[in-house]
Structure 1
Amino acid sequence: MTSKFPPRRLLAVAAALALIGGPADASSGQNVPPGSPEPVDQACPLGSFHCAPRPLNYAMCRPNALLDFYDPSLGKDPALRETSPTRVQAQHVDSSSQTIYRLSGTVKLQRADQQLQADSVDYNNTSTDYDARGNVRYQEAGQLLAASHMRGNTDASRGIADDVRYQMLDSRGNGVAKQGHLLDAQHSRYSMATYSTCDVGHHLWEFRAKSITIDKDTGVGVARNATMRIGNVPFLYLPYFTFPTDDRRKSGFLYPTIGNTSRSGFEVSAPYYLNLAPNYDATLDPRTYSDRGAMLAGEFRYLVPGSNGQLNVEYVPKDHGESDGLADTKGDSRYLAKFYDRTALWPGWQFVGSYNHASDSSYLYDYGDSLSHAAVYRLASSAAVRGGGTWWNASFGGTIYQNVNPFVTDRTLPYRQLPYATFSMDLPLSRWLEFGMDAQAVAFRKPGFVEGQREDIYPYLTADFGSSAWFVRPKLAYRYTAYQLSGGYQGYGYGGPLAAGATGPFDQKSPSRALPIVSLDSGLIFDRSTSLFGSSYTQTLEPRLYYLYVPYRNQNNLPVFDTRLMSFDYWQLFSPNQFSGADRQMDANNLTAALTSRLLDDSGVERVSASIGQIHYFSPQKVLATDWVRSAYVAQLDVQLSDRWRLASSYQWSPNTRLTDMASVELQRRLGSDGIFNFSYRYRRGLLEQYNASVVYPISDRWKLVGAWTYSVKDRETVDALAGVEYDSCCVSLQLVARNYINQNYYGFGPSPAGGNTSLRDNAIMFEVVFKGLGSSGGQIDPLLRRDILGYQ
């Protein structure tokens, strides 16, 4: 079975890196055929939320002097050696002996993937022994070799070379050796040798060993009695270690982690990877925290026919750190367990499950990944059986939550859904008519709150008429929602904002709501050719009308299990409900008018898009408790006239309050080929006002500055800030990043000198080094920068 796990390349000298660096991002060297140009990195498209990591970049490496005799036309398959003849070329041949030929003058012996060149060669035609002297150059499928003297046997693929310089062809590994032994087609050994992936003759790092053995069959190198050097300075002795010579997985140490956090102190981890089988593996990660003690973490991944999953466990035998919040954890054993599984059951059906649990509510606050960690307030665990066909899908399962905010009680958790069932269908009745239905049944559980079961059925009939120039889409739906309440519903009085106007406790055990929903969506699309700044475009003009009718139903006697009022935006102009969940359905007698115009270039790429719209209410909205005649004006503008910069903005202004309800601006500018600058401003009246800026600024082809900053005007504080520097060379890359961020929020439980709401901050600093070609594991810095810097690679 072939594994589909992401490759995990390993560190040859993990103990050395424990002194200076952290885990690097999982990526592999570019296996560039000698003499071919380096691949060009493709920049992440502007506006992309997720950018894939770039491969290790060897573009700054100097041309390898050994490649001047590389022959790209030579075969690449060592298996053909036994059936291939040996071809000999030379300027002078002495054949006085019946079996030994003495060749001189630009001598070349070639067979299959092998080629030997020298000033002079003695070759035994019977035994295929050879003795080459002077400017010896040898090439085979996996490596190049230069030496002063080389002798061996071509049939056995054996050879011994003196004063060796070698270059691996499947990687950038190279070095020198007093003597090299070609043991067979797949194995070689070097004595008194060096190894590095840096430029030949310019090794920023290398290890020197009494012997280095290369096994091309397994992709593993073995060094004995080795010393690793940075420049010419030795800093670590290792009697025995292995290292990768290609991208295949192997057991061994991964890049260690060094960091410091406010909650746990100085952290050191040294993970060890176990390549147990092609379809499952494990990682053991012992850690120590200066303020809290020792931890053992582990990961197990599996991939079997029809199933795949992952288990992560962290265990602290005894925590001697200080505890905050509502949980007293000092001296306790603590743990975190995460499990995920996806299993195919039968055709069209699968099981999907996850289990996430911490020993206490303070665990993530104390031990969370404080460099790339965002504040987490709850952990969700779920299990479901899901199925689907051409026109339907269904699921059955459950979801529970655990509170991991140490400063609040479990009252803040969402309702548990134990169990739930969903069914959706979309059945074409004709070319223009469809019948569909969304149905859901959920049992909601939460101690101390009203509990019960809710069924929501939403059948609809929709039609789609139109062409490329116009469309009309009528839709007729019916929504029925029913409850069977339990668990103290008789005395539970709900007075939250979604049930404004409630007169007292629930007086029904089985309340329900039923209503029709009618909508008509229509639009026109006009286009014409135009030009702007010397470029030709197609301009569109797209007016759109959307009518929605939903009769009013008093819903004050219905509980609110999982429903919230969604933020109003442009897409809410065409939505049949402004509430998420089924507990509330807004009433409506509305007409939305909107206008969109776009500029498309000759290849069809949208360069400019501008939209504006507003809802006109023919009757007051009783569920939303407003008597407005009109909604806020909603406008959007997206501009990307070139591949260097992009502008996205939205704005909402209410004619009812004559105030701005929402505004946002996002600007992205590409700096050179690797740099990026982002600026954004987000405002929502009474809730949020934030500025955000981030940058990757190339100082040179080797150095970059990175930074990100988020500031809350409402809270008058920096929410998140990071700054760092990156260095990249032929064979080494470095990253140093510091971060200050809000870890948790304190809500006034217990004594607090500040009182009220207080943001609790954390600091983290991390350093990572990658010796290119020695392998890596998933690092912490790259995921953080890709999350906080839009367009980072």
Structure 2
Amino acid sequence: VRYQDRDMLLSASEASGTTAPNKAKVKQVRYQLLSSRGNGRAASAVLADSEHASLDQATFSTCALDAPSWEFRAADIDLDQANGIGRAHDVTFRIGDVPVFWLPYASFPLDDRRKSGFLYPELGYSNQRGFDLAAPYYLNLAPNYDATLTPRLMTQRGLMLGGQFRYLTDSSRGTIEAEWLPNDRDTDRRRSLLHWDDATRFNAYWGATVDFNHVSDDRYFEDFGRSLSIAATTLLPSSAYFRGQGSWWKASVGGDEYQITDPTLSVAAEPYRRLPRATFDADHSLFGNLDAGIRSEYVSFSKDNAVDAHRLDLHPYLAMPIERAAWFVRPELGFRYTSYQIDRDADKSPHRGTPVASVDAGLRFERALDLGGSGYTQTLEPRAYYLRVPYRDQDNLPLFDTQEVPFSFGQLFRSNRFVGADRQMDANNLTLALTSRLIEDSSGSERVSASIGQIRYFDDQRVQLPGRAGTDFNGSTYVGELDLRINERWRATFSNQWNPNSDRTELSAVGIQNRFGNDGVFNVSYRFRRNLLEQADASVLIPLNPSWRLVGRWNYSMFDRKTLEAFAGIEHDSCCIAWRLLARRYVHNIERDMSNALYFELEFKGVGSLGQKTGDFLRRAILGYQ
């Protein structure tokens, strides 16, 4: 006998039933779920209707029916397709024919509808935390909010309690996360984390955002973070803003503050709180191509054991961009005014005002090329940017939130090399740059992109951060970038900054990627920034066959003569089961101490995974990992 409806396909040795009511009983059943993944056998089954069935002496798996790598066996199973829930008694989970665990009762989802219950545990080991076991419990509280409670046992640290609450309404969405370790055995103190992010829309124009973060101490991420990037977190930001936006304006009011999470930084290094902080930007067409706009900001700065201050920054401007297919000219004239009210005995109200004028212009040429029998379009794009900002003495202005932007190709076309309003660079500069691209006609893919540029200085650069002398260079560092996409399998990127004033390279980066086979990928890169870092990085994903893959990475600092991170692992993937084993050694704190970790993840497809989640980690570590 064969039977099929929208949710199930089954075969049986015999069947009997009635049409009123519509009910059937079958024996020696083989079944396949159609609306979700899964199949199995049963000694007998009762089909109450198209959405309800009861099975005796039943099995369930997502593997091949005749040779399952794993399966559930139960004395009886009730399948409720209407509510998407299965219920079973006397349940045994087996890998091969070996029983792994037993439960007197279990319920499980049959489709993607959410259901309260234990999620699969996460397992791991590191010499910082010891054996690491987390057992999350999911709570389906309502259609628009849920929660997950996660007790986490670390044999070297103790029992940590964690939780996540998510909510979604017509106007808001957000997440609240918390972790709490009452007593860390290593440090003999309480450790905790709190995070809240929220985005709310009040109407088409106004909304609010919140991003609140707090940890109990400056070594929290070092001890409990699972990646080098998290462990290297120096400042933990928090912010809350009320925001508005229209067709020609946008505004915000709120505040920011930071928590130091680097134990090598003193309290004095903590950035100023910006509370309140308000911004208003506008850009509106007057007539023809003439636009008028303003960029403005008001901030109140405060910090323990430091002077408080208020700062107003106004930058009104006129612009007349003219854009055509083969050329563009973008002249802009503005005036930047910045004033302070500082809580100090002398010079309480310093200020600065200076005009800012610029002209950005470029040409776009193109021609057809035939290379190896394929058609290409080559572009040639010269660009010139002139900037004029008269010098204003700013030594009496304080520094609250201003830093110098690292030099890059994009910096060639900025009106200020500082971010923040405490400094406005002086300029009588002309930037000259050239870009060329090679575009494949058949696919539209950009196979080659090359750029080079430099700023020519006609006056000395007198405005500097405190402690730095002015310069009299005739030209800036040369910046060059090259991106080669030779074909779908090979890509190479190069960037270099050469300083003619010191006759040496300031920055250099090289990256090469090769994709091979169906999923294989190999990356190698080199990064250098003078007096800061010099690193080599290699990563690989090697498919041995459709089921087995090797992964690995090595990140080495020549500057420190030390490995920053290295891992190697193996993956196995079949139709219904996948597992991954990784061994990792990495820098885990600011003092560059090393840590060892072992990750194991086992996934039963269609059901869940057991162990440490490593997929996201590998996607960040290996460019091109699938």
Q: TM-score range by the shorter chain?
A: over 0.9
Q: Are the aligned partners of 1:372 and 1:780 in contact in 2 as well (CA < 8 Å)?
A: no
- Among 762, 766, 777, which residue is 2:595 paired with? 762
Report deviation, 1:410: 2.2
1:611 matched to which residue of 2? 451
1:309 matched to which residue of 2? 174
1:44 matched to which residue of 2? none
Report deviation, 1:743: 2.1
Q: Are the aligned partners of 1:370 and 1:762 in contact in 2 as well (CA < 8 Å)?
A: no
Q: Aligned equivalents of 2:275 and 2:609: distance in 1?
A: 42
Secondary structure of the residue aligned to 2:183 is: coil
2:55 matched to which residue of 1? 190
1:738 matched to which residue of 2? 583
Secondary structure of the residue aligned to 1:792 is: coil
Q: 1:608 to 1:778 in 2, by over 3 A?
A: farther
- Among 439, 458, 461, which residue is 2:315 paired with? 458
Report deviation, 1:709: 2.2
Q: 1:630 to 1:377 in 2, by over 3 A?
A: closer
2:563 matched to which residue of 1? 718
- Among 367, 370, 388, which residue is 1:549 paired with? 388
Which letter does structure 1 place at the counterpart of 2:94? R
Segments of 5+ residues of structure 2 without an aligned counterpart are 465-469
Report deviation, 1:249: 1.2
1:598 matched to which residue of 2? 437
Report deviation, 1:291: 1.4
1:322 matched to which residue of 2? 186
Deviation larger for 404-413 or 707-716: 404-413
2:548 matched to which residue of 1? 703
Question: What are the superposed Cα offsets for residues 666-721 of structure 1, whole Å, 9 maximum, x if unpaired?
Answer: 21221222222222111111222111111211111111111222211111112222
Which letter does structure 1 place at the counterpart of 2:504? L
Secondary structure of the residue aligned to 1:183 is: strand
Q: Aligned equivalents of 2:434 and 2:191: distance in 1?
A: 57
Report deviation, 1:519: 0.8
Report deviation, 1:247: 1.6
Q: Aligned equivalents of 2:199 and 2:477: distance in 1?
A: 45
Secondary structure of the residue aligned to 1:318 is: strand
Q: Are the aligned partners of 1:737 and 1:765 in contact in 2 as well (CA < 8 Å)?
A: yes
Q: Give the 5 Å matches for 1:19-98.
A: none
Q: 1:245 to 1:776 in 2, by over 3 A?
A: farther
Which letter does structure 2 place at the counterpart of 1:612? I
In the alignment, structure 1 residue 653 sits paired with structure 2 residue 498 = yes
Q: Aligned equivalents of 2:114 and 2:81: distance in 1?
A: 14
Q: Aligned equivalents of 2:474 and 2:263: distance in 1?
A: 45
Which letter does structure 2 place at the counterpart of 1:468? A
Q: Aligned equivalents of 1:385 and 1:528: distance in 2?
A: 50
Secondary structure of the residue aligned to 2:342 is: strand
Q: Aligned equivalents of 2:190 and 2:501: distance in 1?
A: 58
Q: Aligned equivalents of 1:371 and 1:634: distance in 2?
A: 29
Report deviation, 1:761: 2.7
Deviation larger for 199-208 or 621-630: 621-630
Q: 1:371 to 1:451 in 2, by over 3 A?
A: closer
Which letter does structure 1 place at the counterpart of 2:194? A
Q: Are the aligned partners of 1:697 and 1:705 in contact in 2 as well (CA < 8 Å)?
A: yes
Q: 1:369 to 1:654 in 2, by over 3 A?
A: closer
Question: What are the superposed Cα offsets for residues 272-305 of structure 1, whole Å, 9 maximum, x if unpaired?
Answer: 1011111000111112111122121111111122
Q: Give the 5 Å matches for 1:352-751.
A: 352-369=209-226, 373-486=230-343, 489-490=344-345, 507-602=346-441, 603-624=443-464, 625-745=470-590
1:242 matched to which residue of 2? 107
Deviation larger for 407-416 or 534-543: 407-416
Q: Are the aligned partners of 1:371 and 1:764 in contact in 2 as well (CA < 8 Å)?
A: no
Q: Give the 5 Å matches for 1:242-261.
A: 242-261=107-126
Question: What are the superposed Cα offsets for residues 572-621 of structure 1, whole Å, 9 maximum, x if unpaired?
Answer: 11111111111111111111111111111114332111111111111111
Q: Aligned equivalents of 1:431 and 1:788: distance in 2?
A: 50
Deviation larger for 772-781 or 160-169: 772-781
Q: Aligned equivalents of 1:542 and 1:609: distance in 2?
A: 11
Calculate the TM-score normalised by the size of structure 1: 0.76
Q: 1:372 to 1:705 in 2, by over 3 A?
A: farther
In the alignment, structure 1 residue 333 sits paired with structure 2 residue 190 = yes
Secondary structure of the residue aligned to 2:394 is: coil
> Aligned residue pairs: how many?
620
More strand by share: 2
In the alignment, structure 1 residue 781 sits paired with structure 2 residue 614 = yes
Q: Aligned equivalents of 1:484 and 1:763: distance in 2?
A: 52
Which letter does structure 1 place at the counterpart of 2:483? D
Question: What are the superposed Cα offsets for residues 529-580 of structure 1, whole Å, 9 maximum, x if unpaired?
Answer: 0022321101111111111111111111111111111111111111111111
Report deviation, 1:371: 8.3
Q: Are the aligned partners of 2:91 and 2:104 in contact in 1 as well (CA < 8 Å)?
A: yes
- Among 60, 73, 83, which residue is 1:218 paired with? 83
Secondary structure of the residue aligned to 2:156 is: coil
Q: Are the aligned partners of 2:222 and 2:230 in contact in 1 as well (CA < 8 Å)?
A: no
Segments of 5+ residues of structure 1 without an aligned counterpart are 1-135, 324-329, 491-506, 746-757
Question: What are the superposed Cα offsets for residues 620-664 of structure 1, whole Å, 9 maximum, x if unpaired?
Answer: 111141111111221111111322121111111122111011111
Secondary structure of the residue aligned to 2:492 is: strand
Report deviation, 1:362: 3.0
1:106 matched to which residue of 2? none
Q: Aligned equivalents of 2:230 and 2:246: distance in 1?
A: 39
2:467 matched to which residue of 1? none
Q: Are the aligned partners of 2:520 and 2:543 in contact in 1 as well (CA < 8 Å)?
A: yes
Q: Larger C-alpha radius of gyration, 1 or 2?
A: 1
Q: Are the aligned partners of 1:548 and 1:588 in contact in 2 as well (CA < 8 Å)?
A: yes
Q: Aligned equivalents of 2:118 and 2:229: distance in 1?
A: 22
Report deviation, 1:431: 4.3
Q: Aligned equivalents of 1:779 and 1:413: distance in 2?
A: 35
Secondary structure of the residue aligned to 2:222 is: helix
Secondary structure of the residue aligned to 1:573 is: helix
Question: What are the superposed Cα offsets for residues 231-275 of structure 1, whole Å, 9 maximum, x if unpaired?
Answer: 111121111111222122111111101112232221111111011
Q: 1:407 to 1:657 in 2, by over 3 A?
A: closer
Q: Are the aligned partners of 1:261 and 1:370 in contact in 2 as well (CA < 8 Å)?
A: no
Q: Are the aligned partners of 1:522 and 1:545 in contact in 2 as well (CA < 8 Å)?
A: yes
Report deviation, 1:378: 2.8
Report deviation, 1:403: 2.1
Q: CA RMSD in A?
A: 1.8
Calculate the TM-score normalised by the size of structure 2: 0.96
Q: 1:568 to 1:777 in 2, by over 3 A?
A: farther
Deviation larger for 780-789 or 374-383: 374-383
Q: Aligned equivalents of 1:172 and 1:307: distance in 2?
A: 34
Q: Aligned equivalents of 1:167 and 1:584: distance in 2?
A: 69
1:117 matched to which residue of 2? none
Report deviation, 1:735: 1.6
Which letter does structure 1 place at the counterpart of 2:385? Y
Secondary structure of the residue aligned to 2:12 is: strand
Q: Are the aligned partners of 1:251 and 1:273 in contact in 2 as well (CA < 8 Å)?
A: yes
Q: Aligned equivalents of 1:216 and 1:293: distance in 2?
A: 42
- Among 118, 135, 142, which residue is 1:270 paired with? 135
Which letter does structure 2 place at the counterpart of 1:669? N
Q: Are the aligned partners of 1:283 and 1:300 in contact in 2 as well (CA < 8 Å)?
A: yes
Question: What are the superposed Cα offsets for residues 8-36 of structure 1, whole Å, 9 maximum, x if unpaired?
Answer: xxxxxxxxxxxxxxxxxxxxxxxxxxxxx
Which letter does structure 1 place at the counterpart of 2:339? A
Q: Are the aligned partners of 1:479 and 1:515 in contact in 2 as well (CA < 8 Å)?
A: yes
Q: Are the aligned partners of 1:675 and 1:697 in contact in 2 as well (CA < 8 Å)?
A: yes
Question: What are the superposed Cα offsets for residues 68-119 of structure 1, whole Å, 9 maximum, x if unpaired?
Answer: xxxxxxxxxxxxxxxxxxxxxxxxxxxxxxxxxxxxxxxxxxxxxxxxxxxx
Q: Are the aligned partners of 1:172 and 1:198 in contact in 2 as well (CA < 8 Å)?
A: no
Which letter does structure 2 place at the counterpart of 1:284? L
